[in-house]
A and B are shown apart, each in its own frame.
Chain A
Amino acid sequence: MMITDACVFPYPNGLSSVRRMAQEAAALGFDSIVAADTPSCTAGDIPVFFGLMISAQSVKEVTTQVKRGNGPGVIVSVQARDNGFNRAVCGMRGVHILRDIHLADKYAFDHVTAKIAAESGTAIDLDLSPLISGRGHVRQKAIHRYLDILTLRYRYKFPLTISSGARSVLGMRSVREISGICSIIGMDEEDIEQALGGVAETTAPKEMPVRVIS
């Protein structure tokens, strides 16, 4: 299983170069990272995937950007919006991750969206930055939203990813620290392990259904 930080923001979006972030990630126990708007490469002995972060107002806009940007080694993440948008995006081919669910409204992710995500293999990202750096209402809201997502996950088994959302090496956390933080929202060891390997799971080629050939 490949342990991956599903979203970091290297320079110029953040304060660390992608090489430094990759080095730090390797030291913190990760096997790979997804770097926003940074070409795929290998740095610090670990693969860095190109994270295409789409923040669009409409589904049409997402479709255009996915068509334009999708390719091998590209992890496409779309920022969550309202319920209708999320349903459409979760079922869209080429979209790997629905992120920033904690910023969307309360009913943005329901059982129908969860079912669509499970069927299409789209992962839901748990961004740990509001749990790490948020205080008070911001953190409480994120915890509440993640608890809600986990309830739906136990029922529908859609993939999860975990991201630090780090903008510098100081924002990155070790696998052990991430396990500790995730335990706050009631994730057990198995859930955390699966979620850390969520990027590999969501990008793996889909198994073909059984065909009767004679």
Chain B
Amino acid sequence: MSVRPPTLREKRRYLLARIEPCGVPLEAKDLYYTIHEAATSLWGDMMVATMHPAVIALEEGYAILRCRRGTERECTIALSTITTCRDHQIALRIIAASGTIESLRDRIGVMGSYVPQGRVRALNEECTFDTRTFEVVHCDGHKLDVIEKGFKNTHRLFLTTEDLEEK
């Protein structure tokens, strides 16, 4: 099928979402299936067919998503019902909607990348909380994400630097 001229193409909107928690390993394909499942579960096949959601890119901790123009509201509600993706607990925080991918990329540039950082405490540094030993996996400002040491597949704990000082 030949490419349609711009005036005949369907109008689309692009959504920028931050992927929480920071540094969770996600594949675009897995996220696509997750979004599809969430949207279908909430709105049904008819609405999802109209919405036509897709994952454009996963960049620097953000996801650029696509939907048909006029269905942004339904799409964002469906995105807010996403809790897991491939056994990873996640949340998508919608930041912006735009008519072009370029403007969303500019927005990412302004906000800065959302990748694991060790600003106050070094990554993989050990710390103690509630008499247990944890490993720092992300530290940005006062926010601190840790995983308990010595166990596989344990949950991530979301703390602040003040919590470690106190316990």
Contact = CB atoms under 8 A, between A and B. Distances in A.
A20 B163 CA distance: 9
B142 A17 contact: no
A135 B42 CA distance: 8
Contact of A184 (B20, B41, B77, B144): B77
Given A23-B142, A135-B41, A15 B157 contact: yes
Interface in B135-167: 142-144, 155-160, 162-163
A110 to B, nearest CB: 29
Tell me if B's interface is mostly helix, strand, loop or mixed: mixed
Interface residues of A, number: 29
B130 to A, nearest CB: 8
B159 A20 contact: yes
A125 B158 CA distance: 26
A46 interface: no
A169 interface: yes
Contact of A171 (B73, B83, B143, B160): B83
B21 interface: yes
Contact of B160 (A23, A172, A176, A184): A23
Interface size class of B (residues with CB under 8 A): 20 to 34
Interface in B59-101: 73, 76-77, 80-81, 83, 89-91, 93-94
Contacts of A20: 143-144, 158-160, 163
Tell me if A's interface is mostly helix, strand, loop or mixed: helix
Contact of B83 (A19, A170, A183): A170
Contact of B91 (A23, A135, A170): A170
Given A177-B76, A181-B80, A23 B159 contact: no
Contacts of A112: none
Contacts of A136: 41
Contacts of A168: 89, 158
A171 B163 contact: no
A99 interface: no
Contact of B156 (A15, A139, A174): A15
11 contacts: A11-B130, A11-B159, A15-B156, A16-B159, A17-B157, A19-B142, A19-B163, A23-B160, A139-B42, A170-B158, A181-B80
Interface of A: 11-12, 15-17, 19-21, 23-24, 131-133, 135-136, 139, 168-174, 176-177, 180-181, 183-184
